Amino acid sequence: MFHSIDVASGEMLYRRDVQKWDEFSTALFQLRQHQQQFAALNATTRTALLQKFAERLADRQECLAEMVCEEVGRCLHECQAELKKSVELIRYYVRLAPELLAHKTIATQASLSQVRFEPLGVVLAVMPWNYPVWQVLRFAIPALCAGNACVVKPAPSVARVTAALFDIIGGDLPVIPAWLSHEDTLKAIEATDAMAFTGSTHTGRRLAAHAGMHLKKTVLELGGSNAFIVMPDADLPQAAKDACYSRFRDAGQSCNAAKRIIVVEAVADQFIPLFLAECAKLKSCHPKDADTTLAPLHREDLRDTVHGQVRDAIEHGADCLMGGEMPAGKGWFYPATVLDRVNPACRVYHEEVFGPVAMILRANNEAHAVELANDSPFGLGAAIYSGNTEQAWQYAEHIQAGSVFINRHTSSDLRLPFGGVKASGYGRELSEFGLYEFVNVKTYWQK
């Protein structure tokens, strides 16, 4: 069952049954016909259709932001930012794609030799609940620019906003939703030409293994446990402010958030009170309240998981400096929680914590801070705060992650590739590199 619940009130907002496989197969057959017609258009014509979609989405962005706020539970201003960035994403690729997809002539001994970027066909996307508009479009827009068709299997708990998004997309673009069961999602991998997945490492491994068995191209954006390194010469007040914002925005339910605050011991006693003071400013209330800065979690079971990780850390020697108690009352709120002296015996040391919990790791020196950053199964992003940017760049080269930010918290930028290494997945989204993930880079050679 696909359904949407108002996270604050518990009210059922929307529900629909799982799609039968025969019904999906018919829709997929029709989509393939549409994809062939769409791919035959030049890139400028395709992006013109996307530009019209951007205009429709801009007109409806406030309504969709309200839906995301109700279904996901994030603060309304955070949901509005998601919609604004989604519109910017479409307009970015409308400007960029025609030039980057143009045929590239390369000088060889041939009379004419070229590289062309041709679509793979139909790409399946299995999407998460935390950014139900942004995540879908981050995958779909570059894939469509290249002439692919897209099938989107949404998370079951954001069905209403997904249906509303597809109403806005309309019939001009070859994109359809797939209201499939988990079992039929595996069949859909076999029936399509490539797959994009955003979600947990556990599920990503299962889907990627099935896709690999059928030789389907995949791009995986999985979990993250980003390091936020505070060097002794850092601007400590700014680092504390940024660490708090990065960790607790979106109720901590972001793969790219700062989750491990690694502080060199020499400044730990100065930094930690500054960080706690910033965390104490957070306000939990209804997500539509303009003053709310820490929203509820998306589901009760997610909150239970986070609380279990916190209790395990305390039992294994971590100090809870604030939070850590399950609150009473309506809504799946969890307090801003800070764990100090986290050690490898704690689950949170190795696991992703998808909620408002920051862990502090104390490093002996700068080199040890980099070692701690790499001592994780994940490798999505990292941040280094230091007054010596030249040295920070040198440390950044040794960090195993898809991105390193210096004197800024990790985030995604339309113009830069986004993705990770190790258990955070592979492949890239956004920028020109994301545009080339779902294309056949095809060589032409004429004697």
In this predicted structure, what is the pLDDT of residue 431? 97
In this predicted structure, what is the pLDDT of residue 331? 87
CA distance 191 to 232: 54
For residue 41, the tally of other CB atoms under 10 A from its CB is 13
Quick one: pLDDT band at residue 248, thresholds 50, 70, 90?
very high
Tens of pLDDT along 254-299? 999 999 999 999 999 999 999 999 999 999 999 999 999 999 999 9
In this predicted structure, what is the pLDDT of residue 1? 86
**Paired residues of 2 in beta bridges:** 16
8 A C-beta contact, residue 327 and residue 334? yes
Say yes or no to pLDDT of 330 above 90. no
Question: DSSP secondary-structure letter at 296?
Answer: P
CA distance 223 to 211: 19
pTM reported for the whole predicted model:
0.96
Q: What interhelical angle do 76-100 and 134-145 show, nearest 10? A: 10
Question: What is the arrangement of strands in the sheet containing 112-119, beginning at the earlier edge strand?
Answer: 104-105, 112-119, 439-446
Say yes or no to pLDDT of 329 above 90. no
Using DSSP's 3-state secondary structure scheme, residue 138 falls into: helix
194-198/217-221 β-pairing: parallel
Question: Catalytic amino acids?
Answer: 221, 255
Select from 128, 186, 190, 140 the least CA-distant residue to 166. Answer: 140
Q: Cite the beta strand spans of 87-213 per DSSP E.
A: 104-105, 112-119, 122-126, 149-153, 175-177, 194-198
Phi, psi of 105 (to 5 degrees): -85, 130
For the segment 395-399, the average pLDDT, to the nearest whole number, is 98
For the segment 219-240, the average pLDDT, to the nearest whole number, is 98
Quick one: pLDDT band at residue 432, thresholds 50, 70, 90?
very high
In the chain the domains, ranked by start, together with CATH numbers, are 2-222+424-446 (3.40.605.10), 226-406 (3.40.309.10)
175-177/149-153 β-pairing: parallel
Helix/strand/coil percentages in the chain, nearest 5: 45, 20, 35
Burial (CB < 10 A; 0-12, 13-18, 19+), residue 39, is middle
Contacts of 169 (CB under 8 A, 6+ apart): 53, 175
Phi, psi of 299 (to 5 degrees): -140, 160
CA distance 360 to 274: 13
Backbone angle region of 230, left / alpha / beta, with phi > 0 → left and psi within -120 to 50 → alpha: beta
CA distance 144 to 142: 5
Tens of pLDDT along 130-152? 999 999 999 999 999 999 999 99
Joined tokens for residue 250: 């979106």
**Paired residues of 4 in beta bridges:** 14
Q: What is the mean pLDDT of the chain?
A: 97
